[in-house]
A and B are shown apart, each in its own frame.
Chain A
Amino acid sequence: MARKVRQYGDMPQFSLTSMMDIMTIILVFMIKQVDSEGQLITAAENLVLPNSTSTKTPKEVSLGLVVDANWVLVDGDRVVETSIVAGQDTLLVAALDEVLKDKREIEKQAKIARGEADEGGGNIIVQLDKNMHYDVMYKIMATCGFSGFTNVAFAVNQLNPEE
C-alpha cells in the first residue's frame, strides 16, 4: 500500500516540448495564410459569390453594396428589399439612388477637405449572390452610375488562387 502511494505521489514532469513543436508549426502555417496586404473587401453573409478566374484585387477602399436574397445593403445598412427591386419596371432604384448620392457627396467633401481633386466617378464594389437574376444586377448597376459611382466592380471568389 505504502509503495502505491509513493508511486502516485511522484508527479511526472509535464513535457511541453512536443506541444511547442505543434504550436510552432501551426503558427508558421497561419502566418503564411494571412495576406500581408490585407483584404479590402470582406465577403458578405447570406450570399454565395460566383467563382471567377479574375485575379484583380481592389487597390483602395471602396463603398460596399451587397445584394442578397432579401435585402440591398449599403455599407451594412438595409436600403431596399430585393423583391421590390426585382418587381419594379424602371431602371432607377429610387431609395438606393438617394443613399448613394449622399454617400457620393460625403466622398466628394472628404476629398476636397484633403485637398485632392475629385476626378472621375466614385468607386463601388457590388457583392451579388451567384444566383441573382441579371435584371436585379442591371438595375443596381445602372443606379450606381446615375448616382455618380461610375467605377463599378463585382466581388467574386478567386478560382484556384494558388495557380
Chain B
Amino acid sequence: MKRFTKDHEWVELDGDIATVGITDHAQEALGDITFVELPDVGRTLAPGDAFAVVESVKAASDVYAPLAGEVTEINGALDDKPELVNEAAEGAGWFIKLKVADAAAVEALMEQAAYDDFLKTIE
C-alpha cells in the first residue's frame, strides 16, 4: 500500500525496501518531464533530504526523501525515458529503492484518502 508526503512523493514498502517516486499529481503539475537526476547507490538519506532533481519544460524541482535509509537501487530507465514519469508516475516511473532504517516510520505518512483530501486543500 502506498503512502504519500505533502511534497508529493509516494513510497511503497516491501519488507524493509521502500520504492519511492513522485505522485501523479506532481507529474501533472510539472508538465512534460525532460530529465531526472538520481542519487548514487549507497547514499544514506535522512527524512527531508533532497535526493533527486526532476526537470520539466516548466521548472526544475527537488525531490525529498520521505523516510531515512540507504539507496539500494535507482531507476536507470529514466535516463533514456524520463517520460516514464509522465506515463506512470506511481508505477514504472519510480525513482529509487531505499533500504529503510525504520519501517514503522512509514505509518506517519498519509494514506491515499488523506493525500486526496490534502490535494483538495491546495487546489
A binds B: no
- A: residues with CB less than 8 A from B are none
